[in-house]
């Protein structure tokens, strides 16, 4: 069984930064892809960024150049550094493990970008 616990959300002003963390417990395989998704009010959940154990990354076009995903395999932890935050980034951010199509989810952490 895999459990994911996110932390680091909160309220930030436009242009500010936040760093999200997600600690995974249970059996984590080297083939597991870890990532972050988000869901804004009234919208569907969407991929933000994902990273393999080898460090290969994918980003949504909307966050490229502003967000950085990283992973500490020894700690089974994935991070999301979010810079130049905009109001459109306001959402609940979910940690995810994609195990060859089988998905595990955290409960989410709220990020609010507002004055």
Alpha-carbon gap, residue 52 to 41, rounded angstroms: 29
Q: Could you tell me which of 28, 80, 27 has the C-alpha nearest to residue 51? A: 80
> What is the average pLDDT across 83-110?
97
Other CB atoms within 10 Å distance of the CB of residue 57: 13
Alpha carbons 89 and 17: distance in angstroms, whole number:
11
Return the pLDDT at 7: 97
pLDDT at 64: 98
Eight-state DSSP code of residue 53: T
pLDDT band at 1 (very low <50, low <70, confident <90, very high): confident
Are 21 and 8 in contact by the 8 Å Cβ rule? The answer is: yes
Q: What is the mean pLDDT of residues 74-92?
A: 97
- Would you state the pLDDT for residue 78? 98
- Give the separation between CA 62 and CA 73, rounded to whole angstroms: 26
Task: Say if residues 65 and 49 touch (Cβ distance below 8 Å).
Answer: no
Mind listing the pLDDT tens digit for each residue in 34-69?
A: 999 999 999 999 999 999 999 999 999 999 999 999
Q: Which residues pair with 92 in a beta bridge?
A: 39, 110
Task: State pLDDT tens for residues 4-31.
Answer: 999 999 999 999 999 999 999 999 999 9
């Amino acid at each position: 069984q895999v459990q994911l616990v996110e932390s680091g959300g909160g309220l930030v002003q436009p242009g500010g930064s936040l760093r999200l963390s997600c600690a995974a417990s249970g059996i984590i395989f080297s083939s597991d892809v870890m990532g972050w998704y988000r869901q804004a009010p009234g919208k569907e959940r969407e991929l933000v960024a994902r990273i393999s154990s080898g460090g290969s990354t994918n980003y949504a076009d909307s966050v490229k150049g502003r967000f950085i995903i990283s992973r500490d395999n020894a700690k089974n932890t994935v991070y999301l550094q979010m810079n130049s935050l905009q109001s459109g980034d306001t959402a609940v951010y979910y940690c995810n493990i994609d195990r060859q199509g089988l998905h595990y989810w955290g409960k989410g952490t709220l990020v609010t970008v507002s004055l």
